[in-house]
Chains A and B, each alone.
Chain A
Amino acid sequence: MSSRRQFLHAMGVAGSGVLLGRWPAWAGGPEARYITIMGATSCISYVKAVLPEWERTHHGVKVAVTGGGSYAGLHALALAQADIAMADLAPPGSMAVPVRRYLLGRLPIVLAAWPHIGVDRLSWGQAGALLAGDIVNWRQVGGADVPVVTVSRPESSGAREVVQQRVLGTRRFSPDSIIQLSNGAVLRTVMETPGAVGYLEATAPMHRVRILSMGSRSFSPHAWRLWPLYAEPSLYVRVQAPKEVRNLAVFLQGRPKRQDFGIYFEQRPGQADAR
């Protein structure tokens, strides 16, 4: 057999492998029916925490959870790569697939700063000017003489979108911002970098950073209704999704436990005692 023929055969094998590959049955796992949940990293911990409860009553269904951000989740949903999208954003107008939305509640977003900046409260204008890079030293807002370092997230983050619309308006994020890939990474950087300020989804414990008051409001988990800066994380499901997928979305929407993960919601009468 000539080398060229053999090489062409190998190309055929590799090419058809790429085109026809499937999850191998011997590997276990997704040979059963499986559901992929993808999107906003802010919802992952909550979903992971309550998932086992649902899986107990739905044998043989495997659920995989991955992040990627709101935008990626919605896109994956449109392309049928995911069954449920977690998103802080509304689906972009370009999305042709009809979807159904399951609102989870409110996810407060706070401005967090390095603890020793000497400032507790910012006006909305100051907050915008800080994040846009117009204020370069905390002295300018009445704090210590420390240069401002802004910390931000990549463009596809839902939290970034909320802050852009509500705080910055038409201004853009400072081009000197340090970009971190996740909420936790922003928190860690703000904690460690003198003069740092960034925005956080209020899901994690935040005791090592200073949470700034905005205007006349201070953030408190008990008075979440009064806090003006928030995302509305939701689950999106294709309208033609199988019954199990819709069932899972309804289940995830109904667990009060999400309050422990920073997603607050109105407790309607009767819902409070649903475990």
Chain B
Amino acid sequence: MADRQWRGARPLKPPGQGRAAHKILAGMAVLAVLLLLSVIIPLVAQAVPALNAAFLFGRAPGSIAPEAVNTVTMVAISAAVSFPLALLAGLYLVEFARPSRWTRAFDQFTGTVLSVPSIVVGLVVVDVAVVRWHWPVSTLTGILALTLMNWPLTVALVVEALQSVPGLYRDGSWALGASRWQTVTRLILPLALPQMIEQGGMAVARLMGETAVLIYTAGVNVGPGWALGGPGESLAVHLWLLRTEGVTDLASSQAAATGVVLLGLVFLVLWGSRRLAEWLQDTA
């Protein structure tokens, strides 16, 4: 009652008026969220009949264990290769290079290569690795393609994380006599690391869902065991293949189950990287 009186006392804006558009937008937002959920919920519902231990972990054909192993290993190796390379490049750009025409041109350059469509990367990797180098369509070729895709994204996120550390910290450190290297390793990196890890999780999640670049580089089948030289179908490619050409009775639910496993891995990576980032922030 008191609340109502208080709101009524506000001049010129009687309660319930002047927020009509907000209410309409909120209603639309509910619809939009429902639409987005309609992407995931039917997927999970269809997946239920196929989600069993034999499908997830079995060794028989039809199990997606090899695809899951391929996905995780290819993504992990690509991330492990591209992250240090990108970290070094990003550190140089933010902490060592003097801002100039060139560093600004570089921003434009990174932005452009960052947005190169994955199918173009696939085209180039097929041209160079498969055709010119005679690499077979294999896990290693897939790793090469994923690394190339992930590199600019990682450079961009490293630069962004480093730039979010206030310049005053650096000035203070230098004034105390620390070298640039000491400043970077002891002060800047620990401060920027949580953000890098959180954004890095996003990058890894994107790699896991990458399809177009892998179809012609890592292939659409799996070998008898994991090998760098063996075929390396990933979960996302498997989902694409099952959904577009799987014709058995099981194919729909298997495609959905593959999608659920893929989503599970993606969300796990996001959650894990966020928790790790929070933990680092708390301990720092």
| Bound Cα distance from A34 to B229, whole angstroms | 11
Given contacts A21-B128, A185-B245, A188-B244, contact A29 B228 (CB under 8 A): yes
Q: For A150, list chain B residues within 8 Å (CB).
A: none
The answer to whether B247 touches A208 (Cβ under 8 A) is yes
A1 within 8 A of B: no
Q: For A30, list chain B residues within 8 Å (CB).
A: 134-136, 229
The answer to whether A184 touches B246 (Cβ under 8 A) is yes
A81 within 8 A of B: yes
| Bound Cα distance from A28 to B135, whole angstroms | 12
Q: For A24, list chain B residues within 8 Å (CB).
A: 140
B122 within 8 A of A: no
Main secondary structure of the interface of A (DSSP, over half): mixed
The answer to whether B244 touches A180 (Cβ under 8 A) is yes
B152 within 8 A of A: no
| Bound Cα distance from A187 to B251, whole angstroms | 13
Q: For B248, list chain A residues within 8 Å (CB).
A: 205
Proximity bits, B261-283, A CB within 8 Å = 1, else 0: 00000000000000000000000
How distant is A101 from chain B, measured CB to nearest CB, in Å?
24
Cβ 8 A contact of A29, one of B128, B129, B221, B230: B230
Closest to A207 in B: B247
Closest to B245 in A: A184
Proximity bits, A38-65, B CB within 8 Å = 1, else 0: 0000000000100000000000001010
A253 within 8 A of B: no
B6 within 8 A of A: no
- Count how many chain B residues have C-beta atoms less than 8 Å from C-beta atoms of the other chain: 25
The answer to whether A29 touches B133 (Cβ under 8 A) is no
The answer to whether A21 touches B133 (Cβ under 8 A) is yes
Closest to B230 in A: A29
How distant is B112 from chain A, measured CB to nearest CB, in Å?
17
A193 within 8 A of B: no
Closest to A183 in B: B245
User: Which residues of A2-22 are within 8 A (CB) of B?
Assistant: 3, 18-19, 21-22
The answer to whether B219 touches A66 (Cβ under 8 A) is yes
A204 within 8 A of B: yes
Closest to A32 in B: B229
Given contacts A30-B229, A188-B245, contact A23 B132 (CB under 8 A): no
| Bound Cα distance from A28 to B223, whole angstroms | 14
A152 within 8 A of B: no
Size bracket of the A interface: 20 to 34
How distant is B137 from chain A, measured CB to nearest CB, in Å?
5
Q: For A204, list chain B residues within 8 Å (CB).
A: 247
Q: For A191, list chain B residues within 8 Å (CB).
A: 247
Given contacts A18-B132, A21-B129, contact A28 B228 (CB under 8 A): yes
Given contacts A184-B246, A187-B245, A188-B246, contact A29 B138 (CB under 8 A): yes
A27 within 8 A of B: yes
A213 within 8 A of B: no
A182 within 8 A of B: yes
Q: For B220, list chain A residues within 8 Å (CB).
A: 67
Q: For B128, list chain A residues within 8 Å (CB).
A: 18, 21
The answer to whether A66 touches B247 (Cβ under 8 A) is no
| Bound Cα distance from A3 to B133, whole angstroms | 30
Q: For A23, list chain B residues within 8 Å (CB).
A: 133-136, 140, 229
Given contacts A27-B228, A29-B227, contact A184 B138 (CB under 8 A): no
| Bound Cα distance from A18 to B219, whole angstroms | 22
Closest to A22 in B: B133
The answer to whether A184 touches B247 (Cβ under 8 A) is yes
The answer to whether B137 touches A21 (Cβ under 8 A) is no
Q: Which among B220, B244, B246 has the highest number of chain A CB atoms within 10 Å?
A: B244
Q: For A205, list chain B residues within 8 Å (CB).
A: 247-248
| Bound Cα distance from A152 to B245, whole angstroms | 14
B131 within 8 A of A: yes
Q: For A208, list chain B residues within 8 Å (CB).
A: 247
Given contacts A21-B129, A185-B245, A188-B244, contact A34 B136 (CB under 8 A): yes
Q: For B231, list chain A residues within 8 Å (CB).
A: 64
Q: List 18 A-B contacts (CB under 8 A).
A: A21-B135, A23-B135, A24-B140, A30-B134, A30-B135, A30-B229, A48-B221, A64-B137, A182-B244, A182-B245, A184-B246, A187-B245, A188-B245, A188-B246, A188-B247, A191-B247, A204-B247, A208-B247
The 7 closest A-B pairs by CB, nearest first: A29-B229, A184-B245, A27-B228, A21-B133, A185-B245, A64-B136, A185-B244
Other A-B contacts than A19-B132, A184-B247, 16 sampled, CB-CB below 8 A, are A18-B132, A21-B128, A21-B129, A21-B135, A22-B133, A23-B134, A23-B135, A27-B140, A29-B227, A29-B229, A30-B134, A64-B137, A182-B244, A184-B244, A184-B245, A185-B245
